[in-house]
Amino acid sequence: MRTEGEFRALLVLLSDEEERVASVAWETLLDEREAPVPYLQEAALTPYPLLRARPRMVLADNRLGALEQQWRAYT
């Protein structure tokens, strides 16, 4: 599991203007499942619109993935 510092660094990279960098951070955060959720929630509350949009999208993507897993387990 990653440390708090690593999660915070990933959040900084998530807001990077270079799409490839942000994409790698996005995928890494999703791969960690629930562990980065508190950090993503905190980042989603920042007063800066540019910095809060991507964490909110990762949270939504994370929830969707969890629902998909539940659905597959159900069927």
The mean pLDDT value of the chain amounts to 93
Q: Note the pTM of the prediction, 2 decimals.
A: 0.82
Q: Are 17 and 52 in contact (CB under 8 A)?
A: no
pLDDT of 50 reads 75
Distance in angstroms between the alpha carbons of the first and the last residue of the chain: 30
Please determine, for residue 35, whether its predicted confidence score (pLDDT) is greater than 90.
yes
CA distance 12 to 43: 10
Could you tell me the pLDDT band of residue 49, with boundaries at 50, 70 and 90? confident
Could you tell me the pLDDT band of residue 36, with boundaries at 50, 70 and 90? very high
pLDDT of 9 reads 96
Angle at 43 between CA 37 and CA 16, to 5 degrees: 105
